[in-house]
Amino acid sequence: MSYQNRNVAASFHPFELSESSAHLEALSSWREYPRIQQPTWPNEEERARVFDELRAAPPLVFAGEVDLLRTHLAKAARGEAFLLQGGDCAETFADSTADRIKNKVQTILQMAAILTYGASLPTIKMGRMAGQFAKPRSSDTETIDGVSLPSYRGDAVNGYEFTPESRVPDPSRLWKMYTTASQTLNLLRAFTGGGFADLRQVQAWNKGFVESDAYSKYVRVADDIERAVRFMEAIGVDFDPIRMVEFYSSHEALLLDYEEALARVDSRTGEIYGCSGHFLWIGERTRQIDGAHVHFMSQLRNPIGVKLGPNASVEDMLRLADVLDPEREAGRLTFVSRMGAANVREKLPVLLEAAKSEGIEAVWVTDPMHGNTITSSNGYKTRRFDDIMDEVRGFFEAHWEVGTVPAGLHMELTGDDVTEVLGGSGELDEEGLQHRYETLVDPRLNHSQSLELAFLVADMLGN
Ligand code: PEP
Ligand code: MN
């Protein structure tokens, strides 16, 4: 992860870590607000011990990086860049291996190459990675064969194994979340700063994946890019922007104990940064205007996302913008629309019209995953690739209708050849789901489905 902006170097000075900092003390006020989706830790002493350890630990991201991302997002809001955000629904400790992380990064870099090439727009690359370890759940309990246990809430909280012991929330998992996130970020920084993300590797990113229509289509795009790069090399163009790639981390800021413990005061400005990831978002289930999550996040300097589902009203949106982005600062606020293919053309334009007339210049991103979840007849939680494509199309159409900017794509994907989403050019059917269904929560696009989607979005952007 190399940051081209020279000012970034200035931010690598220590954050204030003083526990008596008045700023940080004020942050704990979320505990007085209605809070949902928080684990009930069985032992308060143990929670407090882990909290103190996290508070004393180094930040995972730095203020200068976060500020730079905000300026990129401001460009996306204006249509001068496009945000590509992708990764697992739920990262797990066991799957945070070098190979799996590398496959995800490769997939995102490939999608970014397709988008940048197809649309002639800079792509902001962001993983749902290095922190996506906690999940909101629709029910507090899960029942299997008449046995009810607490629901799995992500590796940051409890174990997936269906036993009473494993499902007890364990605060030491918050520390494991921090160390796993830091290992993941270390690898991301090495891959993207160490030459692997150099555009001259555009062909290498395709290596090792199974061949498919999208794979072959990618080879052709990569050939074109390579030729263009060789041409520029021949005429002596400066290669720094090609060699150095910025790759940002993001996750849903669900566990406020963790987020509070990782907040730091920037000693340059006295402002508070959430240092668990560059970009943090509030989920569909926790975006209550008077709730703990919105209150907590309003105090951070990071760019903030909020998911908006089909029940989001114009008033919800306007109030969220007022609380989270009172200054109407470019790049500060991202709205992630996840309406479902059946709703997006009807519901999204209403929000876009209102935002436009109120002068809210949010970064509008489509999450075509979470409004399109179904159960297959053989019992798998899945999504249809066609519905995902259709929601993306509906998202673009809504923006064209209103005259606003479609600024990004938020995806659940993996670089592995899993079988979790129905359809795509591989025509995965219900029977096929059982071959390699590995996700612990929501179904992800596999490598070739991810590329296919990138080609569609490149077409829409090029329009
Ligand atoms: C998610 O992003 O995994 C998620 C739970 O999404 P949403 O908040 O939109 O339901
Ligand atoms: Mn999900």
User: Residue 283: CB within 6 Å of ligand 1?
Assistant: yes
Could you tell me where the DSSP H helices lie in 235-343? 240-243, 256-261, 292-298, 314-324
Atom of ligand 1 nearest to the CA of 283: 8
Taking residue 315's Cβ as centre, other Cβ atoms within 10 Å add up to 10
Exposed / middle / buried, residue 398 (Cβ in 10 Å: 0-12, 13-18, 19+): buried
Atom of ligand 1 nearest to the CA of 135: 5
Residues with a beta carbon under 5 angstroms from ion ligand 2: 89, 442
Residue to probe by mutation, ligand 1, list 304, 334, 442, most atoms within 8 Å of CB? 442
Residues 391 and 366 sit within 8 Å (Cβ to Cβ): yes
Atom of ligand 1 nearest to the CA of 367: 9
CA 5 / ligand 1 centre spacing (Å): 32
Residue 138 CA: which ligand is closest? 1
Residues 87 and 184 sit within 8 Å (Cβ to Cβ): no
Q: What are the pLDDT tens digits along the chain (463 aa)?
A: 445 443 444 444 555 544 447 778 889 999 999 999 999 999 999 999 999 999 999 999 999 999 999 999 999 999 999 999 999 999 999 999 999 999 999 999 999 999 999 888 999 999 999 999 999 999 999 999 999 999 999 999 999 999 999 999 999 999 999 999 999 999 999 988 888 888 888 988 988 888 888 889 999 999 999 998 889 889 988 777 677 789 999 999 999 999 999 999 998 888 999 999 999 999 999 999 999 999 999 999 999 999 999 999 999 999 999 999 999 999 999 999 999 999 999 999 999 999 999 999 999 999 999 999 999 999 999 999 999 999 999 999 999 999 999 999 999 999 999 999 999 988 999 999 999 999 999 999 999 999 999 999 999 998 7
Atom of ligand 1 nearest to the CA of 336: 9
What global pTM score does this model have? 0.96
User: Residue 310: CB within 6 Å of ligand 1?
Assistant: no
